[in-house]
Structure formats: C-alpha cells, structure tokens
C-alpha cells in the first residue's frame, strides 16, 4: 500500500511540474537556441520532401519518408494551405499527410526539388497555453520532367511554416523543449 | 520623380553591395537576392521598421534609417505620393517610432468568403492581438462587417408602442414581433452589434466559412495611419509593404464600443491633464 502511495505522490508531483511549465520564460541564449532548433526541424522536413519526391528511391522508402515528415508535425490535423500568386481566390487546403502523398505521386518521370539558402525565423511568441510559436520562411524550387528529360513544369514557392515549441522543466529544474511543425502556407511566387 | 530616384539609389546600393560581395555579376542569383530582401512575414516588416533586423549579405548596413523605412513602402505608392511618403518616413525616423507587437495601435483586416443563405458572400473580420498579464498573446476578433446583413432601427409616427401600453400587459408587443416590425421598437441610438450576430450565425450553422481571401494590417502612429499588404511580385520591393499612408492623429484604431470608451476616457484624461497644467502655470504666474 505504501509503495502505491509513493508512486501516486510521484505522479502528482510530475503533473504539478508539467503544469507549472506553462509559465516558463526563456533567457536570450535559450531563445536563440530554440530558433536554431526550429530551423533544424524545417531542414528535416526539407530532407524528407527530397526523399519522397525522388523517383529513384523505392516506393516503400518514399512512403516511410512521408511517415517521417508527418511525425515532425504537432498533429495529423495540421494543414497545408496552397495559393497561387496570380489568383488569391484559389486557395486549397490539405491535411499534411494528404499533401505529401499528393506530391509523392506526382506524374513526372523526374522531380528536382532544391531549396534557396534563405531561411527567415520570426520572433517566438508565447501563447495562452504557455507554448512558444514562431514561423520559418523557406523558398523551394520545383522542376518536373517528362520521360524524355524535358522540363514540363517548374515553380518557385514560398513556404511559411508554423513552429510550436513546448518548453518544460524536468524534476531537476532543467528546461527541455520539444519542437513541432504546425500549419504551412505555400504561395507560388513565380 | 525625386523619390523614384531615391528608390533606385537604394536598390542599386543594395545590388551594388551584393555584386561586390560576389565579385562576379554573372554569378549573381537574382531570385535568391529577391527573396533575401523580400519582406517575407509581417514579423519581418515590424523588425525592419523598428531597425531591429538586418538582412544578411545584402549590404543593408550601407543604408540610412530613412532609406530602410522608405524601402518598406510600395514604390508605386511612393511615385504617386512622394511628399507624403517623405514626411511620413522623416517623422517615423526622427521620432524613433517603434511598432509594438502587443499594443492596441494596430489590427488586421481579413477579407473572407462565407456562404450565407446558400450564396457566396464577402465579409470582413477585424482582428487584434490580445495580451494577458504575463505577456502571452493570441489573436481575437474585435469586430466584423457583414455588408450582406443590414439591420437598422426605424422611427415612425405611425409605428410605435404607445406610452401606456404597459398597463395592458404590452398588448401590442407580439404584433410587432410576429409581423417582423421589431426594428420600429429599437431605440434612437440602436446600433447593430455585428460580432454578436456573426457568432450567433456561426453557432446556429447559418453561416459557413469558406476562406480568407486577403489580409491587410493597419497601423496607427501619433500622426499617421498606414496600411500594410502583401505585394507578391518578382521585384526587389515585394512582400509585406506599406501600400497607403494617411495623416491621422487618432493614435489608435476604434474597432468597437470598448475602443470608443477607451478613447473617450483617454481624451478626458488628456483634457484634465491640460486643465491641471494650465492651473499650475496660472498659479506660478500669480506668485511671480
């Protein structure tokens, strides 16, 4: 009985710790480190996109890459909102997995996806739930080729990716964080 | 014309700096350069307006504060409103005016598509950042505008409930409600609260939200009001830019009755401060 009481009190204290974590504030170094961590998460997403759109990689590995990409997100319910530069009234929304599967099976013999070396990270802002929120902007160059190697489609898109950072404190009072991706807006720039 | 020249100087300065860096104009990737100097997020607009953010590897350190703010204005607007833009930029720089993300001096206006009574309609949402005591923030709807719904009070010498009808248990009331003439019973000062109506329509599923079509931000400074929109074009001057400037000393947006009350209170306080100040000066003069 005593053993169970100890376990119960431990559980209560863990719950209490995670509850107080809602008010954790960040110093300058921690803030900068979280911005870096957000960028790494976005780079992970870029790498997964490169894998699941690469037709030379086996189908099962590409499906695994979609799984990996989706796991970077806060939830499967996160949305990708796609709009065209010339027609703002045409906005399409997809859940992340559906969007990735859609571009995984695009009907091109070869796809080239490259990323501009420009990444802008917004300031992080704390929401009422205590989590920190930011947005990373990246630019993607897409080229689709037919069987003869002719370029049949190309675009450059700006992706604004939400970042959700859950900062918590462990029993020793050390801060740790989990970074997730949130919703994405994709805007064709040319 | 003068400002077009200034603008060209600014862009050429940036271009020149980049070219020197690459030391070879052939290697210069114009797209990458565009994206670097494009104002990619509203957050970036605020950082650059406040002079807190430097665009890496673009030579923007060579720009003066005036040039940096001027760069955040749509050049087509500058061409048409040179004098106003110049006054505005000089005023912002000389006052060292900074935009604060959490204060009430700005809002977002969203043009949205909705389905109402089976028809696609356009409505507007006015949203603002709300901060709690700990500085945690969220977007809230301050007001809405639904041009497709108009409810106004009416006054008439024929349609009213007479002053003694209460003695007969408001016998005429049901008539006005059943026959849809209730607007005649609104007071002279009646104003429709669109936000409450919108919330009710959403809750009763009478309105279906389709999408956000356009977003603009409106900022208030002590002497100006300016609008920021996303200008998506393959030019250096692109992204979230100032598209309109107006002289305005309101100082803050009045989006709903709560803002109006706050503004009235602020005006009263200012008037009171002035009276106290004048009275103190008068007393000093008398003593002298």
Q: Give residue-wise pLDDT tens across range B54-70.
A: 776 666 677 889 999 99
Q: What is the pLDDT of residues B80-115, one digit of tens each?
A: 999 999 999 999 999 999 999 998 999 999 999 999
What residues make up the domain containing A66?
2-188
Mean pLDDT of the region B274-279: 82
Q: What is the dihedral of CA B59, B63, B69, B75, to 10 degrees?
A: -80
Contacts of A127 in chain B (CB under 8 A): 136-138
Indicate whether A96 pLDDT > 80. yes
The chain-wide mean pLDDT, for chain B, equals 86
Indicate whether A17 pLDDT > 70. no
| Residue A190 pLDDT | 60
Contacts of A122 in chain B (CB under 8 A): 41, 43-44
Contacts of B136 in chain A (CB under 8 A): 126-128, 130
| Residue A161 pLDDT | 96
| Residue B50 pLDDT | 94
Indicate whether A19 pLDDT > 70. no
| Residue A1 pLDDT | 55
Q: Are B242 and B77 in contact (CB under 8 A)?
A: yes
Q: What was the ipTM of the complex prediction?
A: 0.84
Indicate whether B29 pLDDT > 70. no
Indicate whether A147 pLDDT > 50. yes
Say how many domains are in chain A: 1
Contacts of B234 in chain A (CB under 8 A): 189-190
Of A85, A88, A127, the CB nearest to B214: A88
CATH number (domain holding residue A39) = 3.10.450.50
**Cβ-defined contact of B40 to A189 (cutoff 8 Å):** no
**Cβ-defined contact of A125 to B40 (cutoff 8 Å):** no
| Residue B19 pLDDT | 33
Measured in angstroms, the CA of B257 and the nearest CA of chain A are apart by 25
Mean pLDDT of the region A74-80: 96
Beta bridge partners of A132: A126, A165
Edge-to-edge strands of the sheet including B207-220?
Answer: B137-145, B119-131, B106-116, B207-220, B224-231, B239-247
Mean pLDDT of the region A6-27: 54
Mean pLDDT of the region B247-257: 90
End-to-end CA gap in chain B: 56
Residues on chain A bordering chain B, Cβ-to-Cβ distance under 8 angstroms: 23, 85, 88-89, 91, 93, 116-118, 120, 122-123, 125-128, 130, 135, 137, 139, 156, 158, 160, 187, 189-190
Indicate whether B24 pLDDT > 50. no
Considering only A25-34, A36-45, B186-195, B256-265, which range has the smallest mean pLDDT?
B256-265
| Residue B7 pLDDT | 53
Q: Are B58 and B33 in contact (CB under 8 A)?
A: yes
């Amino acid at each position: 009985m005593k053993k169970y009481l100890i376990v119960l009190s431990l559980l209560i204290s863990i719950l209490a710790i995670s509850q107080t974590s809602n008010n954790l504030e960040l110093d300058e170094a921690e803030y900068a480190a979280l911005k870096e961590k957000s960028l790494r998460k976005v780079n992970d997403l870029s790498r997964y996109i490169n894998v699941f759109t690469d037709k030379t990689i086996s189908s099962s590995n590409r499906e695994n890459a979609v799984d990996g990409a989706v796991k970077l997100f806060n939830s499967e319910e996160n949305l990708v909102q796609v709009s065209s530069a010339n027609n703002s009234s045409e906005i399409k929304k997809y859940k992340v997995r559906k969007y990735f599967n859609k571009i995984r099976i695009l009907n091109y013999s070869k796809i080239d996806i490259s990323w501009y070396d420009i990444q802008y990270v917004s300031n992080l802002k704390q929401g009422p739930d205590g989590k920190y929120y930011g947005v990373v902007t990246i630019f993607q160059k897409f080229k689709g080729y037919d069987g003869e190697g002719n370029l049949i489609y190309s675009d450059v898109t700006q992706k604004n990716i939400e970042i959700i950072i859950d900062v918590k404190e462990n029993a020793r009072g050390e801060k740790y964080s989990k970074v997730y991706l949130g919703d994405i807006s994709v805007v064709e720039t040319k | 014309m003068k400002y077009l020249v200034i603008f060209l100087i600014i862009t050429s300065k940036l271009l020149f700096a980049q070219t020197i860096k690459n030391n070879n104009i052939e290697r210069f990737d114009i797209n990458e350069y565009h994206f670097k100097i494009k104002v990619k997020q509203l957050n970036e607009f605020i950082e650059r307006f406040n002079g807190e953010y430097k665009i890496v590897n673009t030579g923007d350190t060579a720009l003066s504060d005036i040039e940096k703010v001027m760069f955040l204005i749509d050049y087509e607007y500058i061409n048409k409103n040179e004098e106003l833009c110049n006054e505005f930029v000089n005023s912002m720089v000389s006052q060292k005016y900074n935009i604060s993300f959490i204060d009430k001096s700005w809002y977002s206006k969203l043009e949205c598509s909705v389905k109402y009574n089976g028809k696609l309609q356009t409505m507007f949402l006015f949203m603002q950042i709300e901060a709690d005591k700990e500085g945690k923030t969220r977007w809230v709807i301050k007001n809405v505008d639904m041009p497709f719904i108009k409810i106004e009070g009416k006054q008439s010498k024929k349609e009213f409930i007479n002053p003694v009808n209460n003695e007969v248990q408001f016998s005429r009331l049901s008539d006005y409600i059943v026959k849809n003439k209730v607007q005649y019973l609104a007071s002279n000062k009646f104003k429709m609260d669109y936000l409450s109506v919108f919330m009710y329509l959403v809750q009763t599923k009478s309105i279906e939200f389709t999408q956000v079509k356009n977003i603009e931000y409106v900022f208030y400074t002590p002497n100006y009001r300016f609008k920021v929109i996303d200008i998506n074009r393959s030019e250096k001057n692109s992204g979230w830019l100032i598209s309109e400037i107006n002289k305005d000393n309101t100082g803050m947006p009045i989006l709903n009755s709560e803002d109006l009350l706050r503004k009235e209170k602020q005006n009263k306080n200012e008037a009171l401060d002035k009276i106290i100040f004048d009275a103190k000066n008068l007393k000093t003069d008398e003593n002298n």
